[in-house]
Structure 1
Amino acid sequence: MKPLPLAVAALLLAGSLPALSHDIPAEVAKSPPAGAYKAVSSLVTLPDFLPGLGQLFVDPESLPAGPFLAYDHDGGLVSTIYMIPVEDLNPDTKFEDLAAPGGDVDHVDVYFNAGHPGVEVPHAHVVLWHVPADEEARVAQ
């Protein structure tokens, strides 16, 4: 059995997500989020704000995959991100019931990353956007 291409996996995932309404749960709507989430910049050597992603928070127990919560410069949640190691994208590994702690998902992006502090191995970013595509610029710079 051949692994699904990332784009196909993203489309399947997007089809299983809740309908669009932009309802963001209060405990994660503004940074810092409640619970076990920590600023990624406090865990590894990364800037507080990453252009294209935003300010990231993660429960350290969920590393390396996450979910990571991404916030804009005003502290508003824009996306939930999973960082799935490429070595785990194989027929023997399932990613089921991936949570979207930020609530409803507008659209999904999937792309390759060669590795960075915190997730050093090559991995796929699966970005569950909680804002429309025309609002992604909130984390562009």
Structure 2
Amino acid sequence: MKKLVLAVALTVGSSLCAMAANEVAKAPPAAPYEQVSKLVKLPDFLPGMGKLFVDPTTLPAGPFLAYDHDGDIVSTIYMLPIEDLNPDKRFDDLASPGGNVDHVDVYYNAGHPGVEEPHLHVVLWHVSVADEAQVAK
């Protein structure tokens, strides 16, 4: 019986993740997400990242949803302030609203409009390394 309950829970959980990913699969995602370039002075499309959307109430960390030129989701990005990376602060249960994660990149950023303080970009790629080229230019 426990195995059946676990199997049902896993199936339902996987289905919910798939439904959530489907809701943001194409740009623009539904509210509360807003296009970042309409919130701060940034271009509509950032080479290497794509077209970004965020729920403004989650700033500065995000998640930011990144889309390619065709409006397909390519990654979910978190921007974690360096000053918050200490023993007193935790970032628990970070979601991947874009669905399955193929690989993860983590890199430093000195700051930019919208997230001015130094921070880490944690990029959850929903596409393969080869397909990252979709947002290269």
User: TM over 0.5, yes or no?
Assistant: yes
Q: What displacement does 1:24 show? A: 7.3
Structure number with the bigger relative contact order (C-alpha 8 A, sep ≥ 6) is: 1
- Deviation readout 1:83-105 (Å, 9 max, x if unpaired): 00000011111111000000110
Which amino acid in the other structure matches residue 86 of structure 2?
Answer: N
The structure with the greater share of residues assigned to helix is 2
Matches within 5 A, 1:7-86: 25-86=21-82
- What secondary structure sits across from 1:93 in the alignment? coil
Q: Provide the C-alpha distance between the structure 1 equivalents of 2:20 and 2:74, rounded to a whole number of angstroms.
A: 10
User: How has the CA–CA distance of structure 1 residues 78 and 38 changed in structure 2, closer, same or farther, with 3 Å as cutoff?
Assistant: same
Q: Is the 8 A contact 1:70 1:78 kept in 2?
A: yes
Aligned residues: CA RMSD: 1.6
Q: TM-score, normalised by structure 1?
A: 0.82
Which amino acid in the other structure matches residue 46 of structure 2?
Answer: L
| Displaced runs of 4 or more, over 4 A | none
Higher Cα radius of gyration: 2
Which amino acid in the other structure matches residue 124 of structure 1?
Answer: L
Q: What displacement does 1:74 show? A: 0.4
- Deviation readout 1:82-136 (Å, 9 max, x if unpaired): 0000000111111110000001101000000000000000000000000011100
Q: Provide the C-alpha distance between the structure 2 equivalents of 1:23 and 1:108, rounded to a whole number of angstroms.
A: 22
Q: What displacement does 1:26 show? A: 1.9
Equivalent residues, number: 121
Q: Provide the C-alpha distance between the structure 2 equivalents of 1:41 and 1:65, rounded to a whole number of angstroms.
A: 16
Corresponding residue of 2:6? none
Which amino acid in the other structure matches residue 93 of structure 1?
Answer: K
> How high is the sequence identity, in percent, across the aligned residues?
71
Q: What displacement does 1:35 show? A: 2.2
User: How has the CA–CA distance of structure 1 residues 50 and 82 changed in structure 2, closer, same or farther, with 3 Å as cutoff?
Assistant: same
Q: Provide the C-alpha distance between the structure 1 equivalents of 2:122 and 2:55, rounded to a whole number of angstroms.
A: 17
